[in-house]
Chain A
């Protein structure tokens, strides 16, 4: 394969991967963040305990979290085909990715919010803060460094999912690695994509650490 051809292949693959990662991360947070917050708020001893809701949502999240992504994706294919018209390709893969990533994000958010000192929440309640004010001004702001850290972890995880989605022809670096490395047995190209993936992970990790440090006022 010509160098130029290889570059354009990898370039396109990287862009496709980034497209899926960004769409999926953003949408997963739009869905997962409120779910994560609601799990904390409705937990026993939370600011608005609601046992039934907490149990049901927690159960669904656990189910979705415990199915390995590859299997979940294949299981979801027929349903996704019904909804968006196709079961394979970038769009179908992104839809499956969101179903898998949103519960993961919800748990990450829940973990981050658990780190908020209950005493600070109590102090806000004593001041007469409403539950909405506590969520917005105490929970989310006090947990911000941890939430950002979680976002870096989520992004890297989703990157891993997108690579697996290559198996259903989702495009991106994962598909290149599978197509050339597995089906055509060209390990050199597979290794190059692996290097690109590693570099991407490093970039996300570094950005994450930088942002967290900028926003964490506990470290001084």
Chain B
């Protein structure tokens, strides 16, 4: 079982509030493998922040077990728990740096807690500042740094304890798009080069697309869908996943004006066929037009992924031919039938 670096087994979390019990997480089972960059996506209030906090026991589950590297963390005494926590770093939306310490001081902090000798800690902190590209800001205080720089310091701090895992709680949500890209790039690099497992909490699909290989979709405290990012992107099964992956596509699944709603399909192009004029050839070969409802090009990790929603011919036989053509060309598609439309209402 040790290949799972993190394993949540039947984790339930309830909060007592004035208005009675609120269930934040309901029977969560989740395994994260070493080296994964595992995204957990959901709308605000879905329970994703609570979920990530149960991993390092900042939130104690009401029920269920949390395992880290084969060790059961739930029920441990704080001393034993703290030893494990040193191997699970965390970065936050609001950075959470010590305001009264400079960059070097902040990076040294986890090493200080672990009892690393000061000279050694400072030497390592300087090295880590290089990794996050902030060598020249060693003695700047957080109040003198921009948001992106603060998050870089926080990432360096997270690396200081040589962690197995870094939990990223909305790490880029307070940053502008350009800074977000550079932080995601840095995190990806850390995941790939150091083999550090990432658990990425976000409400933004872009973050999942650029950073993660696996994803779980969480809604109302439950994981409703999970798997490879590529797979879910190609074939989202639940409404929640579709909503998150194709926020613009939502409207195109409903009839717009007099647009025909019959024979609508969603196509997903992959690396092999994204650059070929497949639809154009299909129209010419079968001599039957299609109606374009929606199209978009996405980047998943470093792969191009295109998606498109079209209406096939209203004639059943022609539509079947068109589908066969697409299947031959290796284009994945899902049919958006009337039932599905009800689901997306």
Chain A interface residues toward B at CB < 8 A: 117, 119-120, 122-131, 133, 137-138, 141-142, 144-145, 215-220
Contact = CB atoms under 8 A, between A and B. Distances in A.
Interface stretch (B89-97, B318-326, B332-340): B89-97
25 contacts: A119-B94, A120-B96, A120-B99, A123-B92, A124-B113, A125-B58, A126-B85, A126-B88, A126-B167, A127-B86, A127-B89, A127-B110, A128-B84, A128-B86, A128-B161, A129-B113, A137-B109, A138-B98, A142-B99, A217-B99, A217-B100, A217-B101, A217-B143, A218-B143, A220-B141
Interface in B64-93: 78-79, 81-86, 88-90, 92
A126 B81 CA distance: 10
A126 B56 contact: yes
Contact of A126 (B58, B78, B102, B141): B58
A126 B167 CA distance: 10
Contacts of A220: 141, 143-144
Contacts of A145: 100
Contacts of B141: 217-218, 220
Contacts of A119: 92, 94, 96
B231 interface: no
Contacts of A117: 94, 96, 99
B87 to A, nearest CB: 9
Interface in B100-135: 100-102, 109-110, 112-114
Interface of B: 56, 58, 78-79, 81-86, 88-90, 92, 94, 96-102, 109-110, 112-114, 141, 143-144, 161, 167
A74 to B, nearest CB: 43
B59 to A, nearest CB: 10
A131 B78 CA distance: 9
Nearest to A145: B100
Contact of B83 (A120, A128, A131): A128
Given A127-B161, A128-B84, 19 more contacts: A117-B94, A119-B94, A119-B96, A122-B58, A123-B96, A125-B85, A126-B85, A127-B90, A128-B85, A128-B114, A129-B82, A130-B78, A141-B100, A141-B101, A142-B98, A144-B100, A216-B100, A217-B100, A217-B141
Given A120-B98, A138-B98, A141-B98, A127 B143 contact: no
B215 to A, nearest CB: 23
Contacts of B113: 124, 127-130, 133, 137
B100 A128 contact: no
Contacts of B114: 128
Nearest to A133: B113
B56 A142 contact: no
A126 to B, nearest CB: 4
Nearest to B90: A126
Contacts of B96: 117, 119-120, 122-123
A218 B94 CA distance: 16
A123 B89 CA distance: 9
A128 B94 CA distance: 19
B64 to A, nearest CB: 20
A126 B90 CA distance: 7
A120 B97 contact: yes
Contacts of B81: 128
Contacts of B84: 128
Nearest to B94: A119
A135 to B, nearest CB: 13
